[in-house]
Copies of this chain bind each other. A is one copy, B any other.
Amino acid sequence: MDQVKLFNEYLNQQGLKNTSQRMVILEAFLASDSHLSTEELYLQLRADHPKIGYATVHRTLKLFAECGIAAERNFGDGQTRFEPVHGEEHHDHLICTKCGLIIEFEEPQIEKLQESVAAAHHFTIKNHRLELYGLCAACAADGQ
């Protein structure tokens, strides 16, 4: 699915305007490595677009999240991160606390068990977060 199209449709629906800044930020966001903070994307953009302000970058990332083309993540380092959402697939994360490497995974059996836990408590799950923190292979191989 075309993220740019989805975003433009969302802007129209909401009576928002399409600006050059928004397009630049969207392209940079989609092209970049995932799990970016506002700060990181802002600094990255700065090279080619020094006029774009931090506030605009942040507002735009939140717009992406609102319209569903970005997911907000929080990996406990005190910064909100954003990653592009491509299809329907949900995924969770392995996070290396030494080098910051992020590995994504899907495990349907875990999702199923989550549902059964919820059912046992008469609870309806709307969303969840599962994050496994530790050391990636490379960092574990290094001195600890």
Q: Which residues of A contact B (CB under 8 A)?
A: 74, 76, 94, 96-97, 103, 105, 107, 109-110, 113-114, 117-118, 120-137, 140
Q: Determine the chain B residues whose CB is within 8 A of the CB of A117 once the complex forms.
A: 94, 105, 107, 110, 132
Pairwise interchain contact B123-A135, C-beta atoms closer than 8 A: yes
Most buried by B among A94, A105, A135, A137: A94
Known: A94-B118, A113-B113. 4 other contacts (CB 8 A): A94-B117, A97-B126, A121-B136, A124-B135
Pairwise interchain contact B134-A122, C-beta atoms closer than 8 A: no
Pairwise interchain contact B133-A121, C-beta atoms closer than 8 A: no
With A74-B76, A110-B110, A113-B110 given, is the CB distance from A121 to B134 under 8 Å?
no
